[in-house]
Chain A
């Protein structure tokens, strides 16, 4: 089965060593997804697979046949940004911008996880409604590093998007 990326289908690479990240960037030319550490530590490569956020650097492309992948290119465009992307602009949620595609993909999925009532290590209770506090957002976004240190504004952008949607 082919892989679907941003609603378009593609054949998978023959070499099983190709990571999903290298497939997206090198084979499909979708360079919005970034290679930071290439070892799962920075989160710059975060994409959504069947709606779940993963590190595309730590996943072999060949294992994703039949999967539906959403990259930053599938989330919004400069002309038509998602609400979260717009909030990152308004709250200065970045400086150099290298981590931003991963931050946006990660936060997009994170808002669904909160809506589903999935707890985090920062949640006082394992069940019940999750309040999107700064502490919750910091814990849930800990897989996305920002070397510029725009964290405070990233949290503000996510909080603002959450509030606008609730």
Chain B
């Protein structure tokens, strides 16, 4: 591990200042970051310990929504009474990821910022445009089982690995971000992560010196909430495909279809055209096929991950069938 300077932040402003200097990064639990430090995939000059900042709470907001502090652990969020009863897709997504030991240490802000598990990214002997810009992408013509089929570029086909953010995307959560000079901004989760394009080293829209302070959920909505994760083994594995869904019906018609997908792209995938195709319709298999066609019309496999395209189709149809009571 490369030597670094560890500084403790006493306030958000202090944290932003410390993070904006040199090659600095904030550290919460470190569940992903410490691993990447050991692998020398991450080589910061400075880590900023933000664990003493008062941003670990979970509280209801006046509008009925929920404000989850960036330092709230994955466990704290998954077992929160309000989350379990009002936003169960978020509990389910978190519980589907990692292990209890990791969820106890992982924070909400850190989980959003976790890096891809692409084998080429985490092996410093391999080419990777995300880790070493300009070195090439080993995965495009290589081992690509975990990799993306949507929104890829000729620079990078890595996937965003997390589950929590997929549920947050379906729920249309917002990310609150602080930066130096007490400036704050709010970014929808759906726009927080980005596609690789020509700058695959940028996972998300955070700028140097910015620190996530909270994630907010809009007020609860009615409907079935489902998180379906398909993986190589039944516990402690990343998603090959996952679907987060909030589906509501009235008078036999679909009235809400908030869907997001994991394992398919460099970000939790959300396509508003899918909801447009489903809302106002009576649920049936041909309609579900149409929704899957919209999701996958631009999908491209890279050999080893070709299976993800039919797997995404079947997983989406299974979730829609479960939510609407249709027999496939």
Contact = CB atoms under 8 A, between A and B. Distances in A.
Nearest to A120: B95
B35 A16 contact: no
B88 interface: yes
Instruction: Give the interface size bracket for A toward B.
Output: 35 or more
Contacts of A55: 31, 101-102, 105
Contacts of A113: 100
B99 A43 contact: yes
Given A38-B38, A59-B105, A142 B235 contact: yes
Nearest to A43: B101
Interface in A116-130: 116, 118-121, 123, 126-127
Contacts, number: 94
B84 A119 contact: yes
Nearest to B79: A118
Interface residues of B, number: 36
A83 interface: no
A143 B102 contact: yes
Interface string A9-22: 00000001101000
A52 B99 contact: no
Interface-centre pick from A40, A52, A57, A58 (highest chain B CB count, 10 A):
A58
A106 interface: yes
A138 interface: yes
A113 B100 CA distance: 10
Contacts of B6: 16, 60, 62
Given A40-B31, A53-B104, A58-B105, A143 B99 contact: yes
Nearest to A58: B34
Interface of B: 1, 3-6, 27, 29-31, 34-35, 37-38, 47, 49, 51, 75, 78-79, 84-85, 88, 91-92, 95-96, 98-102, 104-105, 234-236
27 contacts: A16-B4, A17-B37, A39-B38, A40-B31, A43-B99, A52-B75, A52-B104, A54-B101, A54-B102, A54-B104, A55-B31, A58-B30, A58-B31, A58-B105, A59-B105, A62-B49, A63-B49, A118-B78, A119-B79, A121-B95, A121-B235, A123-B95, A126-B84, A126-B88, A139-B234, A139-B235, A142-B235
Interface of A: 16-17, 19, 38-40, 43, 46, 52-55, 57-60, 62-63, 106, 109-110, 113, 116, 118-121, 123, 126-127, 138-140, 142-143
8 smallest CB-CB distances across A and B, nearest first, come from A143-B99, A142-B235, A16-B6, A126-B84, A142-B236, A52-B104, A121-B95, A118-B79
